Amino acid sequence: MANIKSAKKRMRQTVSRQARNKSVRSRLRTSIKKHRASEDRGKPENLSATYSEIDRARRKGVIHANAAARYKSRLAKASAKT
């Protein structure tokens, strides 16, 4: 447990950031899962909606730029197959 005032503040900040990042990451993963499930059913959902979730997570710093590009690339590749 932190004893120094600034360390205590840091811990509070970390908790709030983790909560924010968790919600963004959860929303991102749900969107990707929904898109993949719809492709499996043969009725792919709008790819741009999933892209915007990926871009939102990237802008907020939840995922790295290369990770965002990788997600988008793999989704595009999979949708091109179907």
In a domain, 69, yes or no: yes
Supply the range of the domain harboring residue 54: 46-82
Q: How far apart are the first and last CA of the chain?
A: 53
In a domain, 12, yes or no: no
In a domain, 67, yes or no: yes
Q: Are 44 and 5 in contact (CB under 8 A)?
A: no
Q: Which helix (H) or strand (E) holds 63?
A: none
In a domain, 14, yes or no: no
Report the number of distinct structural domains present in the chain.
1
In a domain, 81, yes or no: yes
d(CA 23, CA 46): 22
In order along its 82 residues, the chain shows pLDDT tens digits of 789 999 999 999 999 999 999 999 999 999 999 999 998 888 777 889 999 999 999 999 999 999 999 999 999 999 888 6
In a domain, 71, yes or no: yes
User: Which pair of tokens denotes residue 18?
Assistant: 């983790």
- Using DSSP, state whether 82 is helix, strand or coil: coil
In a domain, 9, yes or no: no
